[in-house]
Structure 1
Amino acid sequence: MKPRRSQLALLYVLAVVMSLVILAPFAWLVIASISPARDLISAHPHWWPSHPTLSRYHSIFSGQAGGDDVAANFRVAMGNSLVVAAGTTVISLVVGTLGGYAFARLRFRFRRSALFAFLSVYMLPPIALVIPLYLALSNLGMLDTKRGLVLTYCSIVTPFCLWTMSNYFLSLPSELEEAARIDGCNRLQALTRVVLPLAKPGLFATAMFGFLLAWDEFLYSLTFTSTTNAKTIPVAIAEFTGKYSSDFGLIAAGGVLAALPPVVLALASQRFIVSGLTAGSVKS
């Protein structure tokens, strides 16, 4: 039964309203980033800046990093966040995929207990692990380094990847692997040639959420870093707030730039997730 025109019209109206509700905060963030300071602190709100300016973005991308220029230091923090989040995602996804496959397909003692033990690490509040992790990184000489942050973030993201990938592998039919084993593949070949093509949606979704977990993390980055060598975006944005004043426009510009990589990643992953739904099972 086809929906009526009135139902379709109502559906489109609701979709437009929902889109406006979701996009309105981001639109205001963009407007605030190009608004003069007097418009942001004015008693009467300005829905569009009287004199739009890109000076904050210019300060971020052309300033001299390494000193007291927090805008220029934000540019360095963006690079640090990209390196740390990408490294954490790659390592955690590889470990989570192999471990998740083992938990889903192999049968061994304490299998579920071990899986729940990994999950319990992910569920622990970060504040409970700050001191042990700080002492561990200090003994390893990894404080204020990107390697230290990658190692720390892997302790958060890897259990998440392990849990999600093990559940996703359980949803895939094991008969395809058994057929590959009969045709002469070993377990690793069956994983790479049969299971992973079918698991593309889960892989991309897990990678996207793992990247976001590492990209948005604040407490560990604030505690374990002290210079621009390893500070990430959340810490850099927090430094836009001074002791006696705050540059709200600069905070908004930082928020816009910080939101772009996750948005681009989500848009790019959406295409691969949809195409991966039919990949694998129809290939020879």
Structure 2
Amino acid sequence: MIRHSKTQTCLIYGSALILALLLLLPVLWLFIMSISSTRDLTSLPLAWIPTEASFGNYRDLVSNLDSSAAQSFLYALRNSLIVALCATGLSLLASIPAAYSLSRLPGKRRRGLLFAAIVTFMMPPVAIVLPLYSLMATLGLLNSHFALIAIYCGILVPFTTWLLKSNFDAIPMDLDEAPIIDGANRLQVIWHITLPIAKPAVGAAALMAVLMAWDEFFYALLFTNDIRAKTLPVAIADFAAGRVADYGLISAAGIMATIPPVLLAYFLQKSLVSGLMSGSVKG
């Protein structure tokens, strides 16, 4: 066990506190803006503390169904949930056997396939957006959930495959050989042996995939044009597209858009830490 001096301990906790403040202060300011009046947000000098705090912007987004802002936000929330969860589920369904095969099965082309997956993930969106747009337009899939799910799967599968492969490598191959000798097939080995051991890694991959799909803006902006398929990043950007932007409403939408991923991260935080830090298996 490593012991630190009092000075080192103070430096560690002080650095952690400074990092936490840097991460939380923008969120705190966004929340203050969401409960501030228009007068406070437009006054000079700027009112850092609202004179009259109100949660009216939140009520307008979730209860005032007659307003276009509430309709746009609620439809976008539904679209984001559908697209992010479906893309994550399909990506894991494809990446788990892919990662297992890259980790376990022999072959000289494994490194090339893994390198190709990484290159695909790192490819800039601008380089492939035109052929993707032409393909979706030809198939009549523009402004649909299916278009975004398919595109996001193309982004997420290489990433989750790479992440899971590095964790599958840490699992001893001896654990796979015994059930295969007894007559089990590869899918049974993956389901009954590999996945229970790599559950934290799968949870980390799922969380990262959901966050990436939830926050994606570029493709969602280009491939959607109304509330049937617009996701939250695009809908919130639309709130600022008019001549007069309601910064309080935009801030409230931003705060509410962070709640689902924050809750998911809270419940999967143990999987995230252990999955990303996994490098060995006790046995």
Aligned partners of 1:21, 1:123: CA distance in 2, in Å? 28
User: Measured at CA, do residues 180 and 249 of structure 1 come closer, stay the same or move farther in structure 2, by a change above 3 Å?
Assistant: same
The equivalent of 1:171 in structure 2 is: 170
Aligned partners of 1:224, 1:89: CA distance in 2, in Å? 19
The equivalent of 2:42 in structure 1 is: 41
The root-mean-square deviation of aligned C-alpha atoms, in Å, is 2.2
The equivalent of 1:97 in structure 2 is: 96
Query: 1:263 aligned to 2:275?
Result: no
Aligned partners of 1:185, 1:152: CA distance in 2, in Å? 35
1:76-104 Cα offsets, whole Å, 9 max, x none, are 10110011000000000110111111111
Letter aligned with residue 177 of structure 2? E
The equivalent of 2:53 in structure 1 is: 52
Aligned partners of 1:273, 1:215: CA distance in 2, in Å? 17
Which stretch shows the higher mean deviation, 204-213 or 4-13?
4-13
Aligned partners of 1:92, 1:12: CA distance in 2, in Å? 38
Letter aligned with residue 118 of structure 1? A
Pairing 1:66-77 to 2, within 5 Å after superposition: 69-77=68-76
Cα deviation, residue 275, structure 1: 7.7
The equivalent of 1:120 in structure 2 is: 119
Cα deviation, residue 5, structure 1: 4.7
Letter aligned with residue 147 of structure 2? G
1:141-186 Cα offsets, whole Å, 9 max, x none, are 2111111111111111111112221222122211211233234432
Aligned partners of 1:244, 1:40: CA distance in 2, in Å? 16
Q: Percent identity?
A: 40
Pairing 1:148-187 to 2, within 5 Å after superposition: 148-187=147-186
The equivalent of 1:22 in structure 2 is: 23
1:87-124 Cα offsets, whole Å, 9 max, x none, are 00000011011111111111235322222223222121
What is the number of residues matched between the two proteins? 278
Aligned partners of 1:14, 1:135: CA distance in 2, in Å? 49
Cα deviation, residue 46, structure 1: 2.4
Aligned partners of 1:164, 1:77: CA distance in 2, in Å? 29
In 2, are the aligned partners of 1:233 and 1:258 still within 8 Å (CA)?
Answer: yes
Q: Which ranges of structure 2 fall in alignment gaps of 5 or more residues?
A: none
Pairing 1:125-274 to 2, within 5 Å after superposition: 125-273=124-272
Runs ≥4 in structure 1, deviation > 6 angstroms? 274-277
Letter aligned with residue 56 of structure 2? S
User: Measured at CA, do residues 233 and 13 of structure 1 come closer, stay the same or move farther in structure 2, by a change above 3 Å?
Assistant: same
In 2, are the aligned partners of 1:78 and 1:233 still within 8 Å (CA)?
Answer: yes
